[in-house]
Every structure is written in structure tokens, then in C-alpha cells.
């Protein structure tokens, strides 16, 4: 579902979750299509969040940058599933809420492509509707430490560090909520993050999105909008992803790298001469062949963990 313009704060316009005290975000994207709205809002949120002043490596190459997908590229599994599991362990929502959310994600992971995203807007962040933004951010910090920190691919993290060492900025680009994406970026010492932007009113989530999930073409819109804002030359930029859904983003930059690619992206990368990096071990060939089944398995694991906890 697209964010509606009638949810107002003090007679004004809606806020965009946590980041968007700036009402200009909504003003700029209102007339655009959902994917572009999502991309524009993600870029505006990233700019509003700014750069971590404690970054160890100074930015000296101002027109080049790198963009990294998160799920199965920077992190093993899906960040939103780890987040949902952590929330379930804290009894943040009921078992039926978790099952309903996870079932929608199963359908999206197994059958989802860019054209299917619109059907999942209603449920994408429904589990945080009505909750304080500050509370969700605080829990995100805890859950990152508990369930995500040890799931970072060291090989992909090294690639990001390579760009930082070259004086370039590095952003995550992900369908996960921007607040969680920013936590991951900060913990990894990266510049920032582009993520799905949710609407909030009086510091509480409404459950509505600005545009749609940051997925497929929306990611490409996001990095183009950020490039305009930050003075980047996309021909000098790099992008990294595991999924064929991110071909629009990979195609928007000068250097595209398939990381832990699904079978379709692997084929596309070979056809287009893109680099391929695979940090998986063990049953790598099997995993390459059934990425959607693995995605469904990750959701099932989150369901099982949450249900098991609540029965204790």
C-alpha cells in the first residue's frame, strides 16, 4: 500500500519513519510512481541521516561510491527475518501475527519478482503499525547484536572495506526498513543506507510505506537520486548483489558484481561480463539452484523460533 497524504501531523504533512522530520520528502515524491517514490524517499532519508562522524576512513574520492545489497549479499539470510525473530522472542507481537507476516514473506520469496511487490505493501511493515519509532530502533540495535552480527559475510565485508580504504563512500541498499538498514551500516562502519521508508505520525508508525518496498527498479531509482544529491558519477560507482531482482541497480553503475548469485543472476553476469564473487561453501551448488526455497526455509525457521519461544 502506498503512503496516503491524509495522515497529518499538527495539520501538516506526514512524517517519514524516524528519519523524516523533513516534510519535503513527501512533497518531492507525491507525484511519482510507487517504485520511484520509494527510491526518492530512500535517498532523501539517507541524506537526512547523514554520515557517521566517527568513520575511520576519510572520504577523498567524492564522485565514486559502492552500493551493497544486504540479504544474502552482505548478510547470511534475510535481515527482516532475523529482526522478526528477535521481536517474536520479546513478545512484540502474537504468534498469529508472526505467522501471518511470515506467510506473506514466503509467498513473496518463492514467487516474488519486481512485478509482484505491489501486492505486499499492505503487510510489509504491518507488524510495527502503531509502535513508537524510537522503540523499534532500540530493539533493532539489540537484535543486530544478538542475531545478525555473526551472520555478516567476511568476504563481502572486505569488499566494502576496499572501497572505504580507497576513500569512497559505501551505502547499503536494501528492502529492509531504513531504520534497521542504518543500524547495520553503522555497525559495519559504512557511510549509510538506502532502505524501505515507512510513514510515521507523532513518532509512531502508521504501517504505510512511502511508495513501495525498496526492491528491483526502486533500488535503481534510489541510487540515481542519491547520485544527484551527493554528486556521484555512477559510471565510477560499483554495485553488489546476489539476486536477479537487482539487475536494474547493477545495470545503473559502471561496475557490477554478482555476490553469492542466484542461478539467474549468475547467468546474467556471465552474459554481460560482470564479476562474480561467491563466498559460500559446502553445498554451494545446491544453494545456487534453489534460492527461493532457501528463502522460504528462512521464514519457516523464524516462525518455528517464535512459536517455540512463546510455548515455553
Secondary structure of 222-270 in HEC code, one letter for each residue = HHHHHHHHHCCCHHHCEEEECCHHHHHHHHCCCEEEEECCCHHHHHHHH
What is the C-alpha to C-alpha distance for residues 207 and 121, in angstroms, rounded to an integer? 9
Confidence of residue 68 (pLDDT cuts 50, 70, 90): very high
| pLDDT tens-digit series, residues 97-134 | 666 655 555 554 444 443 344 444 555 566 778 889 99
> What integer pLDDT is reported at residue 219 of this predicted model?
97
Mean pLDDT of 21-26: 44
User: Torsion-angle region of residue 231: left (phi > 0), alpha (psi -120 to 50) or beta?
Assistant: left
Q: Which domains does the chain have, with CATH numbers?
A: 15-311 (3.40.50.1000)
Mean pLDDT of 75-83: 89
Catalytic residue among 27, 56, 69, 122: 69
Instruction: List, in sequence order, every beta strand (DSSP E) within 86-232.
Output: 169-177, 192-196, 198-201, 204-209
Identify which has the larger pLDDT, 88 or 1.
Answer: 88
CA 254 to chain centroid, in Å, comes to: 22
**Tally of CB atoms within 10 A around 46:** 30
Residue 210 neighbours by CB under 8 Å, 6+ apart: 2, 3, 16, 25, 26, 29, 37, 38, 41, 197, 198, 199
Q: How many residues does the chain have?
A: 312
52 annotated active-site: no
Mean pLDDT of 208-225: 93
Catalytic residue among 27, 33, 56, 71: 71
> What integer pLDDT is reported at residue 97 of this predicted model?
63
SS3 content of the chain, % helix, strand, coil (to 5): 55, 15, 30
Q: What is the largest CA-CA distance in the chain?
A: 57
> What integer pLDDT is reported at residue 105 of this predicted model?
54
Indicate the burial class of 75 (C-beta count within 10 angstroms; 0-12, 13-18, 19 or more): buried
- pLDDT at residue 141 above 60? yes
> What integer pLDDT is reported at residue 91 of this predicted model?
81
What is the C-alpha to C-alpha distance for residues 268 and 51, in angstroms, rounded to an integer? 34
This prediction has a pTM of 0.78
246 annotated active-site: no
> What integer pLDDT is reported at residue 296 of this predicted model?
37
Identify which has the larger pLDDT, 9 or 74.
Answer: 74
> What integer pLDDT is reported at residue 33 of this predicted model?
86
- pLDDT at residue 230 above 60? yes
What is the C-alpha to C-alpha distance for residues 227 and 243, in angstroms, rounded to an integer? 22
Confidence of residue 207 (pLDDT cuts 50, 70, 90): confident
- Contact at 8 Å (CB) between 192 and 17? no
Sheet holding 204-209, edge to edge: 15-16, 198-201, 204-209
Amino acid at each position: 500500500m502506498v503512503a496516503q497524504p491524509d495522515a497529518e501531523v499538527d495539520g501538516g504533512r506526514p512524517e517519514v519513519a524516524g528519519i523524516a522530520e523533513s516534510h519535503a520528502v513527501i512533497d518531492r515524491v507525491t507525484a511519482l510512481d510507487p517504485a520511484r517514490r520509494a527510491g526518492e524517499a530512500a535517498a532523501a532519508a539517507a541524506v537526512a541521516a547523514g554520515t557517521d562522524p566517527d568513520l575511520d576512513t576519510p572520504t577523498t574520492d567524492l564522485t565514486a561510491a559502492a552500493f551493497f545489497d544486504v540479504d544474502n549479499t552482505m548478510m547470511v539470510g534475510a535481515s527482516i527475518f532475523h529482526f522478526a525473530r528477535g521481536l517474536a522472542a520479546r513478545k512484540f507481537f502474537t504468534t498469529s501475527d508472526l505467522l501471518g507476516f511470515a506467510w506473506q514473506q514466503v509467498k513473496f520469496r518463492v514467487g516474488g519478482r519486481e512485478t509482484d511487490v505491489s501486492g505486499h505493501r499492505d503487510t510489509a511493515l504491518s507488524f510495527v503499525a502503531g509502535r513508537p519509532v524510537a522503540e523499534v530502533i532500540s530493539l533493532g540495535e539489540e537484535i543486530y547484536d544478538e542475531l545478525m552480527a555473526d551472520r555478516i559475510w567476511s568476504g563481502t565485508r572486505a569488499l566494502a572495506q576496499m572501497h572505504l580504504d580507497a576513500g569512497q563512500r559505501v551505502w547499503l541498499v536494501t528492502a529492509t526498513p531504513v531504520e534497521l538498514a542504518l543500524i547495520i551500516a553503522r555497525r559495519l562502519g559504512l557511510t549509510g543506507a538506502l532502505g524501505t521508508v515507512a510513514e510515521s505520525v507523532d513518532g509512531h508508525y502508521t504501517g504505510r510505506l512511502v511508495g513501495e518496498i525498496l526492491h528491483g527498479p526502486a533500488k535503481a531509482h534510489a541510487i540515481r537520486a542519491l547520485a544527484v544529491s551527493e554528486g556521484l558519477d555512477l559510471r565510477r560507482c560499483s554495485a553488489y548483489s546476489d539476486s536477479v531482482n537487482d539487475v536494474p541497480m547493477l545495470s545503473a553503475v559502471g561496475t557490477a558484481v554478482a555476490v553469492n548469485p542466484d542461478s539467474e543472476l549468475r547467468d546474467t553476469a556471465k552474459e554481460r561480463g560482470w564479476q562474480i564473487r561467491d563466498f559460500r561453501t559446502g553445498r554451494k551448488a545446491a544453494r545456487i539452484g534453489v534460492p527461493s526455497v532457501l528463502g522460504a526455509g528462512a521464514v519457516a525457521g523464524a516462525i518455528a523460533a517464535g512459536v517455540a519461544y512463546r510455548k515455553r
